[in-house]
Structure 1
Amino acid sequence: RGDALPSSRPAAPGPAACEPQTHVVFLKTHKTASSTIMNLLFRFGETHNLTFALPARGASQLGYPHYFRAEFVEGFGAPGHAPHFNIMCHHLRFLRDQVQRVMPNSTFYFSILRNPVHLMESSFSYYKGTSPFARARSLEEFLSQPERFYRPLEPDSHYAKNLMAFDFGFNHNGAVSAQHSQQMLRHLEQVFDLLLLSEYFDESMVLLKEALCWDLDSVVAFPLNSREGGTRSPLSQSTAEKIKSWNSLDWA
C-alpha cells in the first residue's frame, strides 16, 4: 500500500522515547563550576514554566551553612497553600529527609565534584577573608601548620577543610578510615543519580543531558564565577600532597 514495496520488512522498533525530567535537585557545591550548572537550570526552568524552591525571606542560600530544613524554602508549609516545586538548586547543606519533605519521590538528584587539590587552591583565593585563611599569608603557610590557623568551631571554618564532605552533609572534621570512606560512598550512591566532575565538564554535560532527557541546547553552558588563568598559581607536588592529607575525606 502506498510507496511501500511488497517485500519490505517492518522497521525494527527504535528506542522508547524518554520523558524530560522536570523534578530536579542539584546539590550546589562550592568552587566546582556549580554556578554555571545553576544558570542552565534557571534557563530550563524559565523556558518550561517550572517552579523553583527558592530561599525564604529573600535569602541567597537555603539556610547554608546550617543543615537544610524544609522551612528554609519560600512558601513551604504556608497555611492553605501547598506549592509544587520542580527544581531546587541553591546552596544548602544536604539533609536528605528534609529535602524529601519538599521534593516529590520521582526527583532526580545530582551534584558536581572537583579534585580536592584544585578545590582548595581555589577556595583559599576566593575565601581569603574567612577566619581560617585570613590568618595565613599564603596557602603554603596554612598547610605547613594547619592546626595553627584552623579552629573547627569558628564561623566559616568549613571552607578550609573537606568542603565537599561538608556540603554533602557529612562531618568534615570526622575520623578518616577506609570503612568510613566506604560508608560515605555507599550513601552517595544511594541518594544521587549522577555525580559530575568539574575537570570533565563537557563530558559531564553530555551525561546530564542523557540522564535528564533534555535537548542539547538545554545543557549548553557559559562559565560563571571562574577565574582568569593568570590568577592561578601552579602548586608544587609537596603542596598538593599536603592538601590531600588535610582534606582526607574529600580525597577519599
Structure 2
Amino acid sequence: MEEKQPQQGKDDGEGKTPQTEGSCQHRDNIALLKMHKCSSSTLQNILFRFGEKHDLTFIMPPRGNYLGYPAPFEKRFAIQVPWNEYNIYTFHSRFSYRGISNMMPSDTIFITVIRDPVKMYESTFTYFRLGARYGLKGGTALRDFLQDAEGYFRSSANKQRIKNPMLYDLGLEANKMHDMSHIEKKIATLGDIFDLVLISEYFDESLILLKELMCWDLDDIVYFKLNARSSSSVRNVTPDMAKKLKHSMQVM
C-alpha cells in the first residue's frame, strides 16, 4: 500500500492554495487521475486548454492515450523533456502516487472524478463491449451477465478490472481486490492524497470547487461535453439489476 509522504508545503500550508481575505494564489500544477467513463474526457479537455493557454508542460505518453496502463504509472512510461519540469498530468493511467510524484512538483494538486457505480458500470459494459467478451448479445446482455456476474468474473483473465473498474484505476493491487481490510486502507490513503474528488453527477458544482481550489478564472472551466453517448445506446438498468450490480462489485 502506497503511503503519501508529506510534501513540502502540504502540512505547513505552503503547498495548499495560500489565501488571504478576498484573494488566493493562482495554481498551475495539477494531476488528474483520468477515470474511465466518468466525464473525465471533458475534464481532461479543460486541462488541455488551460495548459495551452499558459504554455505549460504535460506528462505525455510516447503514443496513444495511455501512460503504461494497466501497469501503475512509472516515469519510464512518459516522454522526458530536456528541462525536466512538468505541470499537468492528465492521460489515462493506473494511479501511483509515488510514480506521479517522481515527475510532478511538490505543490501539485491531485484530483480525480468518480461516478455513481451503477451508471459507470453500465457505461463501461457497453463501451468496452463486455457482453460480447462473454458471448452475450443484444439488449439483454447486461441483465444476462448479472444473473451470474461472479461466474463471469472468474472466467476473465482481467477480472479485477471488470469487477470494480474505479477501484482498479485508483491503483488497488489486483491480489487485494477481495480483501476488505486492504480496500478500506486504500480508500483511507486515497482520501489523504486527493485534494479534490469531483462527482460526475454534480459536474458543474465540482468544477466550481476546482476553480476555487486552483484560483482559476471562470473562463478556465467552461466546457463542451466530450465522448457523451447517445441516449439510444444507454441500457435500461432496473432496480433489481442495480441491486445485483452493487452486490457483484462487493468483496466476495
TM-score using structure 2 length: 0.84
Amino acid at match of 1:208: L
C-alpha distance in 2 between matches for 1:133 and 1:226: 23
Of 44, 50, 54, the residue aligned with 1:38 is: 44
C-alpha distance in 1 between matches for 2:155 and 2:207: 35
Residue 60 of structure 1, CA deviation: 1.9
Is structure 2 residue 226 aligned with structure 1 residue 224?
A: yes
SS in structure 2 of the partner of residue 154 of structure 1: coil
C-alpha distance in 1 between matches for 2:50 and 2:83: 23
Is structure 2 residue 149 aligned with structure 1 residue 146?
A: yes
The aligned runs of 1:194-209 (5 Å cut-off) are 194-209=196-211
Runs of 4+ in 1 over 3 A off after TM superposition: 130-134, 179-182
Partner of 1:107: 108
**Structure 2, unaligned runs of 5 or more:** 1-19
Partner of 1:10: none
Residue 37 of structure 1, CA deviation: 0.2
Across the two proteins, how many residue pairs are aligned to each other? 228
Partner of 2:135: 135
Residue 154 of structure 1, CA deviation: 2.1
The 1:231–1:29 alpha-carbon spacing in structure 2 relative to 1, beyond 3 Å, is same
Is structure 2 residue 60 aligned with structure 1 residue 59?
A: no
Residue 152 of structure 1, CA deviation: 6.8
The 1:107–1:212 alpha-carbon spacing in structure 2 relative to 1, beyond 3 Å, is same
Partner of 1:97: 98
Amino acid at match of 1:183: K
The 1:148–1:135 alpha-carbon spacing in structure 2 relative to 1, beyond 3 Å, is farther
Identity of aligned residues (%): 36
Residues 17-48 of structure 1: CA deviation (Å, up to 9, x unaligned): 21221111000000000000000000000000
The 1:115–1:176 alpha-carbon spacing in structure 2 relative to 1, beyond 3 Å, is farther
Residue 158 of structure 1, CA deviation: 4.7
C-alpha distance in 1 between matches for 2:150 and 2:248: 10
Based on CA coordinates, which of the two structures has the bigger radius of gyration?
A: 1
| Aligned alpha-carbon RMSD (Å) | 2.1
**Structure 1, unaligned runs of 5 or more:** 1-13
Residues 136-166 of structure 1: CA deviation (Å, up to 9, x unaligned): 23011111112332347625x4552100001
The 1:132–1:180 alpha-carbon spacing in structure 2 relative to 1, beyond 3 Å, is farther
SS in structure 2 of the partner of residue 186 of structure 1: helix
C-alpha distance in 2 between matches for 1:119 and 1:180: 23
